[in-house]
Amino acid sequence: MTRTAYAFAGKASVNEQLRALTDACDPFTRAGLDGIGIQADWQILDIGAGSGTVATWLADRIGADGMVTATDIDPSRIPAHPRITAVPHNVAADPLPDGYYDLIHSRLVLIHLPDREQILNKLLAALKPGGSLMLHEFDCTARRTVVGGDADDAALFDRVITGINRVLRTAGAQLDWGIAAHTAMTQAGFVDVATDASMHSCRGGDAWANLAAVNTMQLHEQLLDTGLTVADLERFRALMAAPDFVAMSYLMTRTLGRRPQ
């Protein structure tokens, strides 16, 4: 696997992480992409495609003259599809063709990569004039209030989510990228930049809770370095399976901008 700043590179339980992520995020992502008006002959790039659910959804919406190029530093989980070309590609280091794509999409990749501003310049150049970039990201600085659970549960949830954020920031993530992407895209030269967002309650046992539990397993050692204990992490994982526990999700954002004509 290519070297990257990505905090989850080389970690265990990637399939479980990506399953929870796609279950939690795909409905919001699809609604955003649906609004773009995808055309049958489009060339589309999905960066850091992971398990490929978004790339597959996009490929099902284009015709024989279109193609989805689905990239990842580890493209092994992208399923075969007649209109998907899966490519090993490190967006921070590897080139992209100039002026080639009608639409570039990426979800939860640039938030992790320290070179995100330079990557935006590369993505602008890779779009056809008038082509669109849509980023789906989290703003991890938005408070995830606990709305169902006692005070001890809420305190533990806060401590663990704060710990996860610290580990991600140390690895190179920009925690407020979900909102900051708007300014960065404008500064890179995108026009008609617009952001919208979604946050909703999530319950123990659902996809959002599973994602949090899997993340604590993947980052277990680093979370212990932040001062959390093994007992804290075990209690947190039990809480994430408890249907009476309810907290707000991450703030999910999408930012859309166009390369000028």
Which residues here bind ligand SAM, judged by CB under 6 A? 4, 6, 18, 21-22, 47-50, 71-74, 89-92, 107-109, 113
- The least distance separating ligand SAM from the CB of residue 73, rounded to whole angstroms, comes to 4
Distance CA 210, CA 135 (A): 23
CA-atom Rg of the chain in angstroms: 18
What region, left, alpha or beta, does residue 122 occupy, with left being phi > 0 and alpha being psi -120 to 50 degrees?
alpha
Of the pair 50, 178, the CB lying nearest ligand SAM is at 50
Of the pair 68, 113, the CB lying nearest ligand SAM is at 113
Q: Given the DSSP bridges, would you call strands 127-139 and 251-258 parallel, antiparallel or unpaired?
A: antiparallel
Torsion of the alpha carbons at 221, 223, 229 and 234, rounded to the nearest 10: -90
Of the pair 70, 246, the CB lying nearest ligand SAM is at 70
Contact by Cβ (8 Å): 108, 21: yes
- The least distance separating ligand SAM from the CB of residue 155, rounded to whole angstroms, comes to 27
- The least distance separating ligand SAM from the CB of residue 2, rounded to whole angstroms, comes to 7
- The least distance separating ligand SAM from the CB of residue 42, rounded to whole angstroms, comes to 19
Tell me the residue number closest to ligand SAM, measured at CB. Answer: 50
What is the arrangement of strands in the sheet containing 246-248, beginning at the earlier edge strand?
146-148, 246-248, 201-203
> Tokens 């990239």 label which residue?
71
Of the pair 78, 146, the CB lying nearest ligand SAM is at 78
Of the pair 81, 235, the CB lying nearest ligand SAM is at 81
- The least distance separating ligand SAM from the CB of residue 75, rounded to whole angstroms, comes to 9
Q: Which of helix, strand or coil describes residue 24?
A: helix
